[in-house]
A and B are shown apart, each in its own frame.
Chain A
Amino acid sequence: MTDLAVSSINDNDDITVIIDTGCANLNSVRFAFERLNANIKVTDDFDVIRSATRVVLPGVGTAGAAMAGLQQKGLVTLISSLTQPVMGVCLGMQMLASVSNEHGGRDNKAINCLGLVPTDIGDLDSKGLPLPHMGWNQISVTDHPLFEGIEDGSYVYFVHGYRAPISEYTLASCTYGENFSAAIGKDNFFGVQFHPEKSAAVGAKILQNFLNMGKAQ
């Protein structure tokens, strides 16, 4: 088979699904992938999600509302059963964790998340720096394929007040007061705390790395 034939098959079958979580602003993430000419579907359809080449779990708002949205759509079990690359963005990353202690809701109870990356989300300890952590900060990366070609010290755009601590599941780290996880992952599930869709060329490279994952060989 020629290279040309392989790439045309990929173009037809290569589908990146952004899960329609119902409460998030999904357009920014979709536009960023479209700028990379990716074949994007935004959906909550079980079959389409299952058959995707890779899946994005977006998220804006609060952990409680976002998890309630997933439960309402019956997506919790489905997401957990996925075997293709799944990337959470910002709150979407936090939803991959076991528990979130975000108290932006009605009560102060911890919120059970998807439990796909065994770490707990808590307050970012900025040690007196303004919160939320907002703006361009530098990351240190591991050799995860998501960060191929990304140098330590690259700037990406963050907006958050909660964080995953540094753990064995840290794929990239950042410092704002304390050190925290800029990306976490386990097996085919991983996520980034920052917004690659708003992180100029560095962010586009990270999204392209994601698009290079899960391709039919």
Chain B
Amino acid sequence: MLAKRIVPCLDVREGKVVKGVQFRDHEIVGDIVPLAARYAAEGADELVFYDITASAHDRVIDKSWVSRVAEQIDIPFCVAGGIKTIEQAREKLAFGADKISINSPALSDPSLISRLQDEFGRQCIVIGIDSFYDTASDSYKVKQFTGDEAATKDTQWFTQDWVEEVQKRGCGEIVLNVMNQDGVRGGYDIKQLSMVRAICDVPLIASGGAGTMAHFKEVFELAQVDAALAASVFHKGIIDIGELKHYLHNQNIAIRL
């Protein structure tokens, strides 16, 4: 049976893993490869590296860390952040990334998705979506440029429509990040994720809100997502990946131990 995936996300800046509060005041947590290796050894099924250097500053930076990760790590990994062109995507994939994740640039130019799919195949094209509950319209909408607080803006896309659009254009997987609960650790937004699951024919990764092991059980059982992504609960040692996977296994969820 296909296992549900546990996916730690690491923020990377200038070749180091960092953590920040509300996208500000980043402090260096450590080197990428040893942290990635630790997560892999603890049982992570996949890793996401979110390159925040790239998204905040539009300049050429050293990407050799992607190659160093590929040399050392024997589980799949995805690189997100700052990929706007076919060439930037090719570089990451050539260095050994299994997938690339696109968010804001796809909103600016949706044809990027189809062009990436034509070039590399849909299996390595992940679309990240930052979705929030808009009380005024009582609906879910998509935000853009969330990596930079000053640049963050609402888009005209309703989340459902954008989810349909990116699939039509050929993405292979969707990461739905629910803004309202991100960082609060109050649980995944089950209602919204279930709504998206119903219209999502590609694998769906839940992101935002994980605080306890029960939250993971909930999101797999109730929202039927394929994978659950989390950052702070793993970085801060609130949840140990190995323990989480044994817990989920004991709850009869398909898990690779």
Partner of B94, one of A25, A104, A161, A176: A25
Q: Which residues of B contact A (CB under 8 A)?
A: 1-3, 5, 40, 45-46, 67, 70-72, 74-76, 93-96, 98, 120-124, 172-173, 200-204, 226-227, 256
A136 to B5 CA separation, bound complex (whole angstroms): 8
In the complex, what residues of A have CB within 8 A of residue B122's CB? 132, 161
A51 CB to nearest B CB, Å: 27
A200/B74 in contact, CB under 8 A = yes
Residue-wise, chain A 141-160 has the 8 Å CB interface mask toward B (1 for contact) of 00000000000000101011
Q: Does A198 contact B (CB under 8 A)?
A: yes
List A148-198 residues whose CB lies under 8 Å from chain B.
155, 157, 159-161, 175-176, 195, 197-198
* Secondary structure dominating the interface of A: mixed
How many chain-A residues does the 8 Å CB contact rule pick out? Answer: 36
In the complex, which residues of chain A have a beta carbon less than 8 angstroms from the beta carbon of B67?
27
A74 contacts chain B at the CB level, 8 A cutoff: no
Q: Is the CB of A61 within 8 A of B120?
A: yes
14 A-B interface contacts by CB (under 8 A): A35-B71, A60-B120, A130-B201, A130-B203, A131-B201, A132-B203, A136-B45, A136-B256, A137-B2, A157-B76, A159-B76, A159-B124, A197-B74, A200-B75
Given the complex, which residues of B lie within 8 Å of A136, measured CB to CB? 2-3, 5, 45, 256
Contacts of A34 in B (CB 8 A): 71
In the bound assembly, the distance between CA atoms of A138 and B74 in angstroms comes to 17
Complex Cα distance A129/B226, Å? 10
* B98 / chain A contacts, CB cutoff of 8 Å: 28, 159, 198
Q: Decide yes or no: A27 and B94 within 8 Å by CB, A135-B3, A155-B256 being known contacts.
A: yes
Query: Do A31 and B201 touch across chains, with their CB atoms under 8 A apart?
Result: no
Measured CB to CB, the nearest residue on chain B to A60 is: B121
